[in-house]
Amino acid sequence: MRRYIAVFVVICAFMMLFLSAAYSEDRSVTVKGKKGTDTSASVNARYHALIIGSNNYKHLPKLKTAIADAKAVEEILRTKYGFKTKLLIDATRADILGNINKMRKKLGSNDNLLIYYAGHGEFDKNVEKAYWLPVDAQRDDPTNWIIADDITSNIKRISSRHILLVSDSCYSGTLTRAAVIDLKSAEKDEYIKKMAERPSRTLMASGGNEPVADGGGSGHSVFASAFLKALKETEKNVFTAEELFHGRGSVKEMVAGKSDQVPEYNTIKNSGHEGGDFVFQTAKASVSGAGGYTAPLAPIEIKEPSGKDFKIDDLEKEAKEIEKNKAAWNSKLQKMKQAYGKVKTFEKGTSPADRKSSAWQRFLDTFSQDNPYSQEDDTMRQEAEERVSYWNSQQQIAMAPRPDPSVSPLGKGGIKGGVFKDPLTNIEFVFVKGGCYGSSYTVHEVCVDDFYIGKYEVTQGQWKAVMGNNPSSFSSCGDNCPVEQVSWND
């Protein structure tokens, strides 16, 4: 199966846009380092990756390898290259834009960012605009599509020194770039130094103006297989993205040798690129500086006392302040965990839905700051946001108007005639009038209150609208299948 709708791993969607000339005055904000400051790369630079892979589209043909590709890329970047990774599986529009915005807020000039996207996309030839199609996108409704302009604007505003976008399926347009020259060792060190010092915004795409394969790489796409192999088998500890793409045993050679695809690598126009390139370094090189370029650390002003005495009191004080800061954030994290537990316990009680939503919202308001030493706070905030959304939907259900059809006597209790549909789930309900019932065979009379009951069994679609999940083991008839495997805990 082909990822034929035109798009990519993050980079793809941009290609047509980036190759065109600047067509309007640029009013977005590009964050750049101040002139005169040291912008050299350091072995202490922090590496981050946002990796997106979507197979299970709701309204479009499902893909086969995008998730496997994303998981494999995440693993090698984290384990071999020391990246701090964020993996998004079957991501919606809100998931993708929300996480890119989080990266924009927390990354600084000493951070490098790689974005990888595998999923459907669309290229509108009439207006020459490229789009990502998240997992909630619909073919004839662009509401949840993501136009490449939005991603470009966010990239301009991210202050990371280097940003590399990697795309595995799209119509990217024809791109050209000179091959990497095979430099001598000393020349290569100087080249990497220059590339690392200058900010860069580059993209790597799996194809030009043609659809690219969703398989063909032993469980991965042809491009993903080549990208992973190049990262795994390189003997270099430090190298540029262009070397990875163009060098011997490169991504370009492996892809072009196995398929009709012609992968491409280029800069992203009008995005803050200043002639540098993304520099990969293994976790080993990051720690020891062995086997590659070791750039100087940013200078720290050390005030020497008069005379011949040597002092590092300021450095010791700084170290203590850092430890104090870490301890303060750890204390805040423990308080956050305690508050999280309290809200979870409160949620299990009998309070109304709006009170439970308020409890989670207070949690989010209290612990809104990002902990620079942990990812646990991100996980708790993400769940809190999901619970706020869930309990708000429950409140809407509870507040939905209920019709009052006329009473049609039927026995002592009677049944109110007519049917109404719940506005959220479209479940059809009938009203049953309460009453007392008994017979000559029963000792006691049984009394029940008024109640509503659904006319038909609950479907999987209706269950998902309320609960946000689907416990059923089959789905051959889609959302109209009856839900099953429901437990009392649900």
Q: Which of 12-21, 165-174, 401-410 has the highest mean pLDDT?
A: 165-174
**Range of weakest confidence among 289-293, 367-371, 411-415:** 411-415
Confidence (pLDDT) at 306: 62
φ, ψ for residue 357 (rounded to 5)? Answer: -65, -40
Confidence (pLDDT) at 246: 82
**Range of weakest confidence among 122-136, 138-152, 314-328, 438-452:** 438-452
Average pLDDT over residues 291-307: 55
Per residue in 312-360, pLDDT (tens digit) is 888 999 999 999 999 999 999 999 999 999 999 999 998 898 999 999 9
Per residue in 25-34, pLDDT (tens digit) is 333 333 343 3
The answer to whether the CB of 221 falls within 8 A of the CB of 206 is: yes
Residue 427 CA to residue 116 CA, distance in Å, equals 40
Residue 394 CA to residue 196 CA, distance in Å, equals 52
Indicate the pairing of strand 428-432 with strand 415-421: antiparallel
pLDDT at 37 over 70: no
Confidence (pLDDT) at 71: 96
- Give the pLDDT band (50/70/90) at residue 266: confident
Q: Which residue's structure tokens are 């998981």?
A: 71
Listing DSSP states for 363-404 in one string gives HHHHT-SPPTT-SHHHHHHHHHHHHHHHHHHHHHHHHS----
- Give the pLDDT band (50/70/90) at residue 280: very high
Q: Which of 203-217, 415-429, 440-454 has the highest mean pLDDT?
A: 440-454
The answer to whether the CB of 269 falls within 8 A of the CB of 22 is: yes
- Give the pLDDT band (50/70/90) at residue 147: confident
Residue 124 CA to residue 147 CA, distance in Å, equals 10
Average pLDDT over residues 268-291: 73
Confidence (pLDDT) at 305: 62
Tell me which of 346 and 276 has the higher pLDDT: 346
From 251, 264, 18, 329, select the one nearest 156 (Cα to Cα): 18
pLDDT at 268 over 80: no
pLDDT at 204 over 80: yes
Average pLDDT over residues 240-258: 77
pLDDT at 127 over 50: yes
Average pLDDT over residues 167-189: 49
pLDDT at 179 over 70: no
**Range of weakest confidence among 39-43, 107-111, 378-382, 389-393:** 39-43
The answer to whether the CB of 134 falls within 8 A of the CB of 92 is: yes
How much is the mean pLDDT over the chain? 76
Confidence (pLDDT) at 436: 80
Q: Which of 41-45, 93-97, 439-443 has the highest mean pLDDT?
A: 93-97
- Give the pLDDT band (50/70/90) at residue 486: confident
pLDDT at 471 over 60: yes
- Give the pLDDT band (50/70/90) at residue 283: confident
Q: Which residue's structure tokens are 């800069």?
A: 267
Percentage of the chain lying above the pLDDT 90 cut: 29
Confidence (pLDDT) at 82: 93
Average pLDDT over residues 256-263: 68
Confidence (pLDDT) at 175: 33
- Give the pLDDT band (50/70/90) at residue 191: low
**Range of weakest confidence among 148-162, 369-383, 400-414:** 400-414
- Give the pLDDT band (50/70/90) at residue 171: very low
pLDDT at 90 over 60: yes
From 189, 169, 170, 162, select the one nearest 129 (Cα to Cα): 170
Sketch out the chain's domains with CATH numbers. 2-288 (3.40.50.1460), 326-399 (no CATH), 407-480 (no CATH)
Confidence (pLDDT) at 5: 42
Residue 111 CA to residue 50 CA, distance in Å, equals 13
Average pLDDT over residues 462-479: 80
